[in-house]
Amino acid sequence: MRNSKLKDIRNAWKHSRMFFGKNKVMMVALGRSPADEYKDNLHQVSKKLRGEVGLLFTNRTKEEVNEWFTKYTEMDFARAGNKATFTVTLDPGPLEQFPHSMEPQLRQLGLPTALRRGVVTLLSDYEVCKEGDVLTPEQARILKLFGHEMVEFKVTIKYMWDAQSGRFQQMGEDDLPESAPESSEESESEGEDD
């Protein structure tokens, strides 16, 4: 999970509670079966806690939640294993944004660099990645160092449980890619938020 982006969401949703943790712990807290569930149908939420998921407890309406999370997207740096969304080629010349002490680190990442008069210099053209390539850890680090954001961060609301009715329903597609950040949404009444 990307903590800086989740911090932004938490700030925007201060009126609600968000939980991210081990799925098994959250399953036990909600209840794994009808016999040990905290409230009616919460065990159905437990069954859906797979991968990178969280719980949102809110008094906002389903429409408000869907509207906000549908609109919320942020660009972020790609990580190893992500696909490159565009080709990145670095031109030769001085890299004045880097201090001289970073030159060995850049060289270790595979960049053809040298120190010239105390300035880190790229000696030749360097293709970091091509569009569609699966990024290696080194490529992801280079893209971050040069400020190329390739990934769109967003939260997908997949399920909803309503505290008043005890109704559980699917909100989105259940077959999203595993790498996509996901969230489960739960609507709670004010007094049961703690």
Domain boundaries, the chain: 3-73+154-189, 88-150
What is the Cα–Cα distance from 171 to 186, expressed in whole angstroms?
11
Cα separation of 158 and 56, whole Å?
11
Query: How far apart are alpha carbons 145 and 108 in whole angstroms?
Result: 13
Cα angle: 42, vertex 45, 46; to 5 degrees = 95
Other Cβ atoms closer than 10 A to 190: 7
Provide the pLDDT for residue 19: 87
Structure confidence at residue 173 (pLDDT): 54
The mean predicted confidence, pLDDT, of the chain is 84
Residue 103 has pLDDT above 50, yes or no: yes
**Digit-coded pLDDT (tens) for 105-155:** 999 999 999 999 999 999 999 999 999 999 999 999 999 999 999 999 888
Contact 184, 55 (CB under 8 A): yes
Calpha distance 50→53 (Å, rounded): 7
DSSP label at residue 102: G
CATH of the structural domain 88-150, one choice from 3.90.105.20, 3.30.1330.60, 3.20.20.190, 3.90.850.10: 3.90.105.20
Q: pLDDT tens digits, residue range 68-102?
A: 999 999 999 999 999 999 999 999 999 999 999 99
pLDDT reported for residue 131: 94
Decide which of 83 and 184 is more confident. 83
pTM of the model: 0.68
List the end-to-end C-alpha distance of the chain, in Å, as a whole number: 24
CB distance 114 to 99 below 8 Å? no
- Architecture in CATH for domain 3-73+154-189: 2-Layer Sandwich (3.30)
CA distance 127 to 124: 10
Proportion of the chain above pLDDT 90, given as a percent: 46
